[in-house]
Structure 1
Amino acid sequence: MNIHDFSKGKPSRPYVNPAWQLLFKSLGTRKEDEHDFKVYLDRVNDEQSKKWLLESMIEVNGNKSWIEALRRVVPMITIDKVRQYALSLPESKEVEHWGKPSFRINNKIFAIIQEDGITLTIKTIGEDRMIFTTMDSKTYRIPDSFTNLNYMHVNLNHVDPEELKGLILKAWRSLAPKRLVKQYGDL
Structure 2
Amino acid sequence: MITEDTARELALALPGAIEQDHHGFPSFRVNGRIFATLPQPDRLRAMLDEPEIRTAASEHPEACTEYYWGKRLACVEIDLAGTDAELVRDLLAQAWEHQAHR
The bucket for the TM-score relative to the shorter chain is 0.7 to 0.9
Of the three residues 19, 25, 28, the one matched with 1:100 is: 25
RMSD: 1.8
Gaps of 5+ in 2: none
The answer as to 2:16 corresponding to 1:91 is yes
CA contact (8 A) 2:67 2:74 kept: no
Write the distance in 2 (CA, Å) between the matches of 1:133 and 1:167: 11
Q: Distance in 1 between matches of 2:87 and 2:28?
A: 18
CA positional deviation for 1:86: 1.0
SS in 1 for 2:26: strand
Partner of 2:96: 172
Does 2:47 match 1:123? yes
Distance 1:171 1:100 in 2: 18
Aligned to 2:59: 135
Contact 2:68 2:75 in 1 (8 A): no
The letter of the residue matching 2:64 is: Y
Residues 132, 177 of structure 1: alpha-carbon distance in 2 compared, 3 angstrom cutoff? closer
What does residue 38 of structure 2 align with?
113
Q: Which has the higher strand share?
A: 2
Q: Kindly state the Cα deviation for residue 145 of structure 1 after the two structures are TM-superposed.
A: 2.1
Higher percent of residues as helix: 1
Whole-angstrom CA distance in 2 between matches of 1:129 and 1:86: 18
Q: Return 5+ residue gaps in structure 1 as ranges.
A: 1-75, 179-187
- Cα deviation for residue 137 of structure 1 reads 3.0
Task: Give the counterpart letter for 1:81 in structure 2.
Answer: T
Fraction of identical pairs, as percent: 28
What is the TM-score of this pair, normalised by structure 1?
Answer: 0.50
User: What's the CA shift string for 1:31-55, capped at 9, x where partnerless?
Assistant: xxxxxxxxxxxxxxxxxxxxxxxxx
SS at match of 2:45: strand
Q: Which structure would you say has the larger Rg?
A: 1
Higher relative contact order (CA 8 A, sep 6+): 2
TM-score normalised by the chain length of structure 2: 0.87
2:3 counterpart residue number: 78
C-alpha change, 1:150 and 1:177, in structure 2 (3 Å) is: same
